[in-house]
Each structure stands twice: as C-alpha cells, then as structure tokens.
Structure 1
Amino acid sequence: MKRTGMHMPKKGFSFYGPAEGVHALDSWITPEDELFLVTHMGFLEIDREHWHLDVDGLVDKPMRLRLADLQAMPQREFMSFHECAGSPLAPTVAKRRIGNVVWKGVPLSLVLEHAKISKQASFIWTSGLEWGEYAGVEEPYKKDLPIGKAFAEEVLLALEINGQPLTSDRGGPVRLVVPGWYGTNSVKWVGSITAADQRASGAYTTRFYNDSTASGITPVWSVAPEAVIVSPSPNDLLPADMPTKIWGWAWGDHRISNVEVSVDGGDSWQTATVGPRKDKSWQRFELPWSPESGQHVLLCRCTNELGEGQPPSDARNAVHSVEVEVGPLAAGA
C-alpha cells in the first residue's frame, strides 16, 4: 500500500556506474558518486517526517518506529564491500558492480530484541516501499533473512553512508544493509519487517535471485570470492621493461587468503601480496611487473579462507581479465 509523503520521480529499471568500470575504483573507500546505483522498479522519494517502520508478525510486541526513534537508538559503523548480484535474468553474467563503503545505523538485532521475536520465527522478511513493474512482475520488493543472519552484529538499518545521511537515491532515509551478502538482500526504502516461520513467498525470493547448483536451488545470499584488476587498464599504454605493478581488489563474504595474477592469458600464474581486511571490506592485492613489448592479457583469481575460488567463466564471479598494450610508443609518448 502506498503511504503518504512518497512519490517516484523515475520509474522502471535503472543502472548507474562509473564509465571506466572497476578501473575507476582507485580508492580504499569508494566515494558515493562513484558507487553504482541499481533499481528494479524506480527511484523513490520519501518525506522523512512521514516515514515509519512497522515491525510485526511472530513478535510479542509489534512496533511502529519513526525516524527519530531509530536516530535515538545506539548506532554502529561497519565497513563493507557492496556488490550487486547482477541481473536475475542473466545470473551467470559477471557485472562487477562493486564498491567499498562505511555504513552507519542501528543493528537490526536491537529492533528485533525490542519487538521480542517469537522462538517460532525462523526468517525475517523485509519489504521496501517502492512500487511498479519489473520483468513482468508487479509486487512489493520483499526479501528474507534466516534468523541467525538477521541477528548478526553487522546487519544494520542504515541511516548513513560514508559519514553522510542516506539520500533517497541510496534508499534513504533508512535501508537494510547486509554486509557480506549480495546487494539484492540490502532492501532500500525499507518500510516493514515481519518475523515468520517460513521464507517469503514473493517473486524476489522464489522467481528471482536463486541459483541452480549441484545440491539444488540456492538463494543468492553470501558473496562468492571475486577479484578485479584496477590497474593497469585497457587505456594505459605501458613502456616496455619499465617496472610497474598490477593491483586491484579482492573480496567475498569470507576473508580472501590468496590472489594469483597471470600476465600471459592464464598459461602461468604468480602469487600476489594481499592486504588485510577491516570488518568485511575488500582487500588490496599487488604484483610487481616489468612487461615485455606487445599485447598482454592479464587475469586475476582469488581463493577465500575456506578454499573456495573463482570459475574461469559463466558465473557472476568469473575470473576478470584485462588486455593491455606494452611497447616503445608508450615509452616515447
């Protein structure tokens, strides 16, 4: 149901990202204007004075929280990569929509504790307030979290990103943030939270964002290990035999323990150095390189602490490659 104080200035699917793609991501914290934006049904603007959050379902104490109520609750900051799962209509196509930001807000667990969640509840449903049509479906954007994940310390009802209040474009005034899980689970313009004893039945949990695996259908939840090369980019002309470095970012729900780089199209691999992780941030990797003249295909792949790696192709976390030119023209430019 549409609420008072809301309107959608732009309807339909929308995507924004830097023109240079991952090669624009040269800072540890991604500035908001360089962080991708994706919407299914359009952009929603909400009058902050009219916004409220309903908490209901299998709870002993149903609640309606206003923005001021959340602002008065204990807040925490959490750094995390933020990645889009890509199109649910083409789940094996790597989109590499990624950034690393600092969220601030109220831990979802605090709200659930105040509402006194029933022991019968096994999932927490979260619904956005936007409306419209996506891929032939017209229904509220509703996602769910297993109860254990919902109570994890990093899951927030976020009010800020990178030290600034969430704008409407970012899902403000309040959005759910689920660090370590794909962005589809971080519901924007959140309006209701429902405790339930089963998964949500909407299209965004049953039809979209599910992967076929050897063990059956798996929800698109935890982010698989992935790495990208930021530098050099295809636009760089590198001088031959001059020391440089190949560097980029690696990330996943679990800490990345190893990154390998190939400078010959995958015929051989070298181990890169991998930096530390803060909270669930991405991790920087580097490899020194003195390239020979000619065309080179650079690739990177990573492995997480559980030993999980990346497939070479046909997956949202497929191995990333970059073609670069090395030669005398670059040296004399």
Structure 2
Amino acid sequence: MNIDVCEVTKRYASHAAAIDGVSLTIRQGSFWTIVGPTGSGKTTLLRLIAGLTPPDAGRVLLNSQPVLQIPPFRRSIAYLPQGNGLLPQWTVRQNLLKPLRWRRLSSTEVARKVAEMAAACDIEDLLDRYPHELSGGQRQRAALAQVLIQPVDCLLLDEPFKHLDIVARDPFIELLHAHRQSTGQTIVCVTHDREEVARQKENYVAVLREGRLVQAGTRAELAASPADPFVFSLTSPFGIELFTGTLCTTPDGGLFSCGDGRTRAVVPLHFLSRTSTAETAITMVVPRHRFFLFPNAGEHVAREGVSFGIGRIIRAVENNGVLRVQFDIGDRHCIMCRETEAVPELVRRLRPGNTVSVVATDVRFFPACGTNINRA
C-alpha cells in the first residue's frame, strides 16, 4: 500500500496542533518507524493514516484515494493500538481467529495459520488463556500475533514493544522485518524509544517533535546529515554524550572547551567540515560506541579522532555481551559502550582508578542545546 500524508494538520480543542502541516510519503512494502518524545503527535498521525481521526487541514491518501472516502472494511489496514486491542471476553485463540472468520478459508487452513503465528510470537502455551490471565509482555505478544495474522496491505502499530524489555524486542523486530519481506505489507510503527530505533537497520525513520516533522529518511540518510542531536542519536545503538561549550579554530584544527572549563578536546582539521553551525557556542555529540580508550595513557597520538586527553576509569560492567565503561574526563562523567567481542583485551581488563587516553570518532557539531537527548 502506498500512503501519502499531504500537509496534514490536526488540533484538539484549544490546544496547539497535535499534528502541524506534516507531509510524508510511504511506499508499498516499506517499513517506517515514527519516533519522538511523548506528546509529539505520533499516535495522532497513526490514527490519521488509519482514517480513525479526520484532519482539520490536508489529506491522507491510500493508493491515491482519500482515506475518508474508503469504507473502513475496504481500507485493508490492521491497526494495533497501545492498549493492545485484544477482546477481554475471548481467549487468545479466539482473538486470533476473529480476523480470519470472513476470509473463506477452510478450517484446516485457519488452524494452520493460527498455529504458525502462535509459534512465531511464542504464545503457543497461551492460546486458551484470557487476556487478564497474561502478563503485560504476554498480552503484547498476543496482540502482535492478532495483527500479523491478518491478510491486509498495511500494518499500523502503536508502541508494539511497549511491555517488552530491550533485549526481548530484538526477535520481534526481526519477525516484523521477515513478515514484511514475505508478505510485501507496508508497516508503520510508532515508538518513543530512541534505542529501539537505533537497533533497527532496514527501515525508514520519521522524527516528530511538537507535532512537526523534524526529518525523515533512511537511517543512513539521517546519519549522514542529521537535523539535530536527537536525530543523530537514532543512529547510535547505545546513546550519545553531549558536550556544550566553545570551539576555537587553530591552524591544525580546533580546540573545544566545555562550559566547566576543565573538559577540553583537540579537534582535527578534517572534523571541522562536519560542523553544522557557525556559532561560537556549540554542542559536540559523541556516540557512546565511538569512544576509544587506550590503557597506555599519554602514549597514543589521536590523528583520526577527537582527543579528550587523559581520563580515569570509574567502573566497567559487562552484561548481555556489551561492555559498559564509565569514565571521567575533566568534570564530566561519560560512558563508552561496545559489544564485548569488539573490545581489545587490554580495555576489558580496565579497573577503577586506571588512567586512559580518550579518543572519539564520528563526532558531530550542532548549535548549543541541552543535555537530555538520551532521555527524550
């Protein structure tokens, strides 16, 4: 299904626009993630696409037809609301059977589809339970199965992994991508979780803030030219560190000084071409997986990266195959995260109090902003 959102605006009562002049083109068979902080208009946009909420201005087209002119039963859309959409008076099995009842399928075919989807979503042992007998994560998996089993052209999913921890989400993200590839369905997924987006690879991303579209494109396009630090953070699976201060140019590059006066960094000349601002006060952004720590402090000369000088290890913790190292540079507490197998043995042996040379790559510069991006 092709979806065209054309200059759509939606207001509620006297409040500011929930959606303000948003335009977005979603092509058949693509996977889109709509991301933004709470209250940015994500759910409203999803409901506008589904035809559940009429716009105050603009229009939404499904395969070039206005969605509000298409009868609901002909829109070929399956919608998963945040409340999971399961009917409480029915068992999980009955909820899965519901969308198949009018498809003129044999009882054998229906039973096969239910069994396959139950296995894919790991709910085989839950089919004869009622929603109130399930945990939050189990209800979410059952609701996802109910949507995926429907033979429609488009899936609209509002926070489908809300009750699953970040590690448990990965198999279901892979399931969605595999499902899209096998069915050719268009999938639009809403989330507020920056890390969830960063862990996905084969999708398009639309970033909303205060009802407006900040940026849209592939993850590669967002990484190449991010509109702001939050957009850039969507390309980092472990979050980012922000440093706000001033950048003074030198013949060989630049010297960045944080507002605390103690945290400084030497910026090579070729990094200055990445600055998206001519402001003196800027924010330097470093992906946490792009910090490099060298145990022989003072011996490493950073030619390809931004050098922060000497840092001190606070602690290092390994969990689920990821090494998380907390360290100080100047008055700043920072975090380096990387998959353990990609970390040199010398770095894995770091202990609290050890000193290291700190270097960062893939650094970006933006106009000065706050430091709460990782919590957005």
* Normalised TM-score (structure 2): 0.27
Structure with the higher strand share, 1 or 2: 1
- Of structures 1 and 2, the larger Rg is shown by 2
Structure with the higher helix share, 1 or 2: 2
